[in-house]
Amino acid sequence: MLNDKIILVTGGTGSFGQMFCTSVLQKYKPKKLIVLSRNEMKQYEMRQKFPDDTAKAKSPIRYLIGDIRDIERLRHAFTGVDIVIHAAALKHVPVCEYNPIEAVKTNVIGAINVVTAAIETGVEKVIALSTDKAASPINLYGASKLCSDKIITAAKSYAGARDIKFSVVRYGNVFGSNGSVVPYFIQKRATGVLPITDERMTRFWITLQQGVDFVLDCLARMEGREVFVPKIPSMKIVDLAKIIAPKCKFEFTGIRPGEKLHETMICEDDARITREFDDHFVIGWDGKSKSDYGKTCPAGYKYASDTNDWWLTEPELNGYIANYLQEHPELA
């Protein structure tokens, strides 16, 4: 699918981008794999793991400094590109709450720029990464990503006769990603006290590799205008804390501004235009097309972390944590 293709990843130096590059280089032989990001230090560090042609390595990796807020830079970067994976975003809830205009510039205006540049330069496929916080959003991050999702899924309307597909992949918290609760709990356990917002809190969980694999699957199956949602397990935050730091005292600090007690990936209103499959959902069924695959969701259905019928077990969590610490021995 990706052999001899030119692929570009926005925000490519992040956790997802690095795992995506690893998987693509293992499974395919792309003509080029372009990492676009605005942080030169992260690119320098990533280049040590994935050398490019500047190191005289026979590698398809290329690094471009650029910001999705800069439409001219995107037009230049997207020239000749076949597939764009749009992973760049401001994603930390408290940061977006405190800097709402900056979040809109990156998450909303940035999505508009990605769509515009992709159409103008002849890109074939665009998949944008979303979040469970975009479903019934209560914080600025979720609201900005919902706007982004709507922009991406409606983008074909601006493409005219151009043969280009736009889709969205939405999933939950990534286990052990940069800035997530797992490394935070591991670092805090040395203090003997673990801050937890609410003992009732639940979240969806997915590993980086599972997220990348799902994106690759969606690249193959996408028709355009859809939001793909994987079926993934839920986890109670307090249960995670008990496994990571069983000897710590828990300090319940209260839910932060813009934070939900439970997360939703498909709300009741979206469920009416959603098709369900064995391992995923597709939001965007219009009731007329695609009626020959999947099944409709029942009336009143919603896919939420607290009502999910799939929960991580203690042995599974122990395995995830052990693997994470093996990959990050400095935290062990």
Q: What are the catalytic residues?
A: 133
Q: In which residue are the tokens 């032989």 written? A: 29
> How far is 190 from 332, CA to CA, in rounded Å?
11
Cβ neighbours of 208 (radius 10 Å): 20
27 Cβ contact partners less than 8 Å away, ≥ 6 residues apart: 2, 216
What is the signed CA dihedral for 175, 178, 180, 184, rounded to 10 degrees? 110
Cα atoms found within 13 Å of the Cα of residue 216, Cβ hemisphere only: 21
Three-state SS at 114: helix
> How far is 69 from 294, CA to CA, in rounded Å?
37
The DSSP letter of residue 311 is: B
244 near 195, Cβ under 8 Å? no
Nearest Cα neighbor of 182 from 139, 239, 135 is 239
Cα atoms found within 13 Å of the Cα of residue 5, Cβ hemisphere only: 18
Distances (CA, A) of 261 to 28, 205, 295, 302: 40, 15, 29, 15
